[in-house]
């Protein structure tokens, strides 16, 4: 957005100049290849070159704002068949649009919509597949339209990998990683109800500091593309809330925002409640309160930063109803340090999935959705999520494949 004026001026004086972050070359490319004065045509791969900044331009200004308290659900489907090595062989499944009004009518105001990197850009670092994007965007708009205060996390669900290779550590370059986000920034960069989830669950990283440099690179690229959205910064060990204070957290708190300040950089953490913190068992064994207290203490001691629990959940069992209720009560009480939560999972999962929150065919909810405190019950009717007033001031995840159709 911020380059619109410069591009118009350039078009009036120099013909056929390509704007920053647009395609400028590649096999079969027959459009203009000369970048504007502030960028250089950079080969991402043999099929795609992109105009990338030759120097750091002035970042767009943005008014300071804060996120409201958030609570809701992951609506999976476009991530189905993504494995923890970042490979993908599927076609994606659209979450039912009716779920968004179903959950938002009960007070949910956050939906996380994961997608496979390979669906959005079939070639790493290449252009967005506009056919897939049109399908994905219909889902995003359905979620946004379900309530005036509903927020959406667009979640790149690839475990810091592309087909088995780790970003900037033997796999895609930082520029290729940034490419998908600068393109999404051009589409969603002025919608303050869309949150960018930079990467789902990085894990088994040879170098955590190198990963943090990749995060900083992408933050810079998103801002220089003109986007002012809140950004979710993931750590390591499957975004472990437990590992964050001692593993990735000390480096991630040093990531800077070209907008100024750090209030739009939110840390992305996950924590399940089963015996091995994998999110693959129906029973829960912990309420995670001690882990989350340690996380809150770390965040407060490091500049009063914020985190969002974008994945948590359990089975429809008595143990999970009790322990999840305790966990979510703590998350709600820890606002604004903990911005909120997004439960795993509904969307295209069927009602037999071990952690399903997908409503039944008759429109009734799973017991966990009601009894664990995602929503409340009053007089037998589902009531709105009981948040505190928004104005008031892990063990490593085991290797698993969530990305399969329920």
The answer to whether 311 is a known catalytic residue is: yes
- Tell me how far CA of residue 83 lies from CA of 166, 315, 371, in angstroms: 13, 21, 31
The answer to whether 201 is a known catalytic residue is: yes
Q: Collapsing DSSP states into helix, strand and coil, what is residue 84?
A: coil
Cα 240 from Cα 292, distance rounded (Å): 11
The answer to whether residues 78 and 114 touch, using CB atoms and an 8 Å cutoff, is: yes
DSSP-assigned beta bridge partners for residue 338: 307
Cα 295 from Cα 303, distance rounded (Å): 13
Cα 220 from Cα 325, distance rounded (Å): 38
Cα 373 from Cα 383, distance rounded (Å): 10
Cα 320 from Cα 273, distance rounded (Å): 8
Catalytic residue (one of 130, 247, 311, 405): 311
Q: Collapsing DSSP states into helix, strand and coil, what is residue 333?
A: helix
Cα 108 from Cα 72, distance rounded (Å): 5
Query: Which among 255, 261, 220 has a CA at the least distance from the CA of 234?
Result: 255
R_g of the chain computed on alpha carbons: 21
H runs (alpha helix) in 14-110:
98-104
HSE toward the beta carbon, residue 297, CA cutoff 13 A: 9
The residues annotated with a catalytic role in the active site are 201, 311
């Amino acid at each position: 957005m911020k380059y619109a004026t410069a591009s118009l001026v350039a078009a009036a004086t120099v013909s056929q100049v390509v704007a920053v972050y647009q395609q400028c070359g590649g096999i079969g490319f027959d459009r203009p290849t000369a970048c504007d004065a502030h960028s250089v045509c950079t080969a991402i791969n043999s099929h795609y070159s992109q105009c990338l900044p030759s120097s750091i331009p002035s970042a767009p200004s943005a008014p300071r704002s804060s996120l409201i308290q958030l609570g809701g659900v992951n609506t999976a489907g476009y991530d189905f068949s993504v494995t923890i090595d970042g490979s993908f062989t599927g076609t994606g499944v659209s979450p039912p649009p009716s779920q968004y009004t179903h959950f938002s009518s009960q007070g949910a105001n956050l939906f996380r919509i994961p997608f496979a990197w390979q669906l959005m850009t079939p070639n790493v670092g290449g252009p967005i597949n506009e056919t897939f994007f049109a399908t994905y965007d219909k889902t995003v708009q359905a979620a946004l339209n379900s309530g005036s205060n509903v927020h959406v996390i667009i979640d790149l669900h690839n475990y810091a990998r592309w087909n088995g290779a780790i970003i900037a550590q033997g796999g895609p370059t930082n520029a290729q990683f940034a490419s998908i986000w600068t393109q999404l920034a051009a589409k969603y960069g002025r919608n303050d109800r869309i949150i960018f989830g930079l990467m789902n669950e990085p894990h088994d990283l040879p170098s955590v500091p190198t990963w943090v440099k990749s995060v900083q690179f992408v933050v810079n690229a998103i801002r220089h593309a003109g986007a002012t959205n809140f950004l979710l910064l993931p750590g390591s060990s499957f975004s472990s809330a437990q590992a964050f204070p001692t593993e990735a957290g000390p480096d991630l708190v040093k990531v800077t925002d070209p907008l100024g300040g750090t209030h739009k950089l939110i840390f992305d953490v996950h924590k399940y409640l089963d015996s091995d913190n994998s999110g693959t068992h129906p029973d829960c064994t912990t309420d995670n309160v001690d882990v989350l207290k340690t996380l809150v203490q770390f965040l407060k001691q490091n500049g009063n930063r914020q985190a969002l629990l974008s994945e948590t959940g359990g089975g429809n069992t008595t143990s999970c109803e009790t322990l999840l209720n305790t966990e979510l009560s703590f998350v709600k009480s820890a606002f604004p340090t903990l911005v909120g939560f997004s439960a795993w999972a509904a969307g295209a999962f069927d009602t037999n999935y071990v952690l399903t929150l997908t409503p039944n065919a008759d429109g009734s909810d799973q017991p966990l959705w009601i009894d664990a405190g995602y929503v409340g019950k009053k007089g037998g009717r589902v009531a709105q999520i009981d948040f505190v007033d928004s104005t008031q001031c892990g063990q490593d995840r085991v290797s698993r494949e969530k990305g399969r159709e329920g």
